[in-house]
Amino acid sequence: KKPLIISTDPGIDDAVALTISLFAKELDVKLIAATWGNVSLEKTLNNTLKLETFLGTKVPVVSGAKLPLVKKPIDASEVHGKSGMDGFDFPEPDKGLLVSGLAATKIHEVVANSPEKVTLMQIGPATDFALYFRQYPDDLEKIEELVIMGGAIGRGNYGPYDEYNVSGDPEAAKIVFESGVKIRVAPLELGHQAFVKQDTMDIVRNYGKNGDMLYSILSNLHDGTLTDGLEIYDALAVGMLLAPDMYTFKPAFVAIDTNDSYTYGASVMDFDNFFGKPANAEIGVAIDREQFVNWFAKVLKEADK
Ligand code: BDR
Ligand code: CA
What is the interface pTM, i.e. ipTM, of the complex? 0.98
Q: Which pLDDT score, from 0 to 100, does residue 118 have?
A: 99
Cβ atoms within 10 Å, residue 1: 10
Q: Which ligand neighbours the alpha carbon of 12 most closely?
A: 1
User: How many whole angstroms from 35 Cα to the centroid of ligand 1?
Assistant: 13
Over residues 41-96, the pLDDT tens digits come to: 999 999 999 999 999 999 999 999 999 999 999 999 988 889 999 999 999 999 99
- What percentage of the chain carries pLDDT values higher than 70? 99
Which residues are within 8 A (CB) of 40 and not within 5 positions of it... i.e. 6 or more apart? 66, 73, 75
Cβ atoms within 10 Å, residue 278: 8
Atom number, ligand 1, closest to the C-alpha of residue 157: 10
Q: Is the CB of 165 under 6 A from ligand 1?
A: yes
Q: Is the CB of 164 under 6 A from ligand 1?
A: yes
Q: Which of 48, 53, 73, 77 is nearest to 63 (CA)?
A: 48
Q: Tell the residue nearest (CA) to atom 2 of ligand 1.
A: 164
User: How many whole angstroms from 44 Cα to the centroid of ligand 2?
Assistant: 10
Q: Which ligand neighbours the alpha carbon of 155 most closely?
A: 1
* Residue 246 DSSP label: G
Q: Is the pLDDT of residue 122 over 70?
A: yes
Distance, in Å, from the CA atom of 117 to the CA atom of 133, rounded to the nearest integer, reads 15
Output b/e per residue, 170-189; b: 16+ Cβ within 10 A.
Answer: bbbbbbbbebebbbbbbbbb
* Residue 263 DSSP label: T
Tell me the three state secondary structure of residue 87.
coil
Which residues are within 8 A (CB) of 205 and not within 5 positions of it... i.e. 6 or more apart? 211, 212, 214, 215
Tell me the CA end-to-end span of the chain in Å, nearest whole number: 18
User: How many whole angstroms from 110 Cα to the centroid of ligand 1?
Assistant: 26
Q: Is the CB of 38 under 6 A from ligand 1?
A: yes
Q: Is the CB of 234 under 6 A from ligand 1?
A: yes
Q: Is the CB of 233 under 6 A from ligand 1?
A: yes
Q: Which ligand neighbours the alpha carbon of 267 most closely?
A: 1
Which residues are within 8 A (CB) of 261 and not within 5 positions of it... i.e. 6 or more apart? none
Q: Whole-prediction pTM value?
A: 0.98
User: How many whole angstroms from 180 Cα to the centroid of ligand 2?
Assistant: 23
Over residues 237-283, the pLDDT tens digits come to: 999 999 999 999 999 999 999 999 999 999 999 999 999 999 999 99
Distances (CA, A) of 124 to 128, 140, 148: 9, 20, 8
User: How many whole angstroms from 130 Cα to the centroid of ligand 2?
Assistant: 16
User: How many whole angstroms from 212 Cα to the centroid of ligand 2?
Assistant: 21
Sheet holding 281-287, edge to edge: 98-99, 61-63, 27-34, 2-8, 118-122, 143-149, 183-186, 281-287, 247-256, 267-270
Distance, in Å, from the CA atom of 48 to the CA atom of 10, rounded to the nearest integer, reads 7
Q: Which pLDDT score, from 0 to 100, does residue 140 have?
A: 97
Over residues 174-200, the pLDDT tens digits come to: 999 999 999 999 999 999 999 999 999
Atom number, ligand 1, closest to the C-alpha of residue 9: 6
* Residue 102 DSSP label: -
CA quadruple 298, 119, 25, 59: dihedral sign = negative
Distance, in Å, from the CA atom of 230 to the CA atom of 191, rounded to the nearest integer, reads 9
Residue 86 identity? D
- 9, 123 in Cβ contact below 8 A? yes
